[in-house]
A = this chain, B = another copy of it.
């Protein structure tokens, strides 16, 4: 394992808290930082593990990393522009728990994402 290179997180922040690994890398290069693409990927993965950033997917499949609050939440993502809204999932939490219990499951978790076209697209 490796710890995250702090410059990666700071760059992601400067990028508006929303960028792909390749973009973070290019940004750092442009700013004269000396870093390898491998390290960028490793750092971002590490940040994801530590729940400091979220990872989503663009329509073309490229992973985009995004700073996130620590509360458990879900995303409403625009298929057009990639704009993302963090949403509360109260209803889903209960649904997931109930369904799982009905089937005798323990240690329950879930994933959920909503996507569509935002009003601007």
Q: What residues of chain A have their CB less than 8 Å away from a CB belonging to chain B?
A: 57, 59, 61-63, 76, 78-79, 85, 87, 91-92, 95-96, 99-100, 103-119
Instruction: Name the one of B99, B109, B110, B112 contacting A110, with C-beta atoms under 8 angstroms.
Output: B112
Q: How far does the Cβ of A102 sit from chain B's closest Cβ, in whole Å?
A: 9
Interface of A is mostly: strand
In the bound complex, residues from chain B placing their C-beta under 8 Å from that of A115 are 108-111
Instruction: Name the one of B104, B106, B108, B114 contacting A99, with C-beta atoms under 8 angstroms.
Output: B114
A36 to B85, CA, bound (A): 40
Q: Determine if A105 and B92 form an interchain contact, defined as CB atoms under 8 angstroms apart.
A: no
Can you report 23 residue pairs joining A to B where beta carbons are below 8 Å apart?
Answer: A61-B61, A61-B62, A76-B100, A76-B103, A76-B105, A87-B103, A92-B92, A92-B112, A95-B95, A99-B114, A100-B114, A100-B116, A105-B116, A107-B117, A108-B115, A109-B114, A109-B115, A110-B112, A110-B114, A110-B115, A111-B111, A111-B112, A112-B112
